[in-house]
Homo-oligomer: A and B are copies of this chain.
Amino acid sequence: MKTPDPPTAEPCPVARALDVVGDRWSLLILRDAFDGVRRFGEFQRSLGIARNILADRLRKLVEQQVLEVLPASDGSAYEEYGLTDKGAALFRVIVGLRQWGEDHLFAQGEAHSVLVEKKSGAPVGRMELRGRNGRALQAADTVVKK
């Protein structure tokens, strides 16, 4: 049995976020969505995910209004899955994972894909949380106030 979920009652924003996107497949689906993937079969092939699991995750993400079902961009009879504004706002989470992975999970000189600015074609810089003075904040510079 499943409760109706008034978001989730979790008081912590991190925990609540994880209730929605806190599993491996959902985040990989989001990554693909940011890369322009929109069709069921495209996700399936790109991820190598089982079809039933993919259908389940897509349904949940649509329920949570992270993705939305769109009529179809080309003439085909099928539907597509697009990011809502709420889903697009997860960009920073995906970028955070990407930059951490780049920094700490690749060997010296090992190749990986790069996020670049469309206009300039230049790689984007490090995403930072900035304080009042404009300087980057580290974890130790902050504290969670209840």
Q: Which A residues contact B (CB, under 8 angstroms)?
A: 6-8, 11-18, 20, 22-24, 27-28, 31, 34-35, 83, 86, 88-107, 111-120, 122, 124-125, 127-132, 137-146
Contacts and interface: CB of A to CB of B under 8 A. Distances in A.
Contacts of A146: 113
Nearest to A6: B107
B137 A98 contact: no
B98 A14 contact: yes
Copies in the complex: 2
B144 A13 contact: no
Contacts of A83: 139
Given A145-B113, A146-B113, A139 B91 contact: yes
Given A28-B15, A98-B13, A89 B113 contact: no
B14 A97 contact: yes
B24 A18 contact: yes
Contact of A142 (B100, B116, B129): B116
Contact of A141 (B12, B119, B125, B140): B119
Contacts of A100: 13, 17, 89-90, 92-93
A67 to B, nearest CB: 13
10 contacts: A13-B99, A13-B102, A14-B27, A18-B97, A116-B144, A122-B132, A124-B130, A124-B131, A127-B127, A127-B128
A92 B14 contact: no
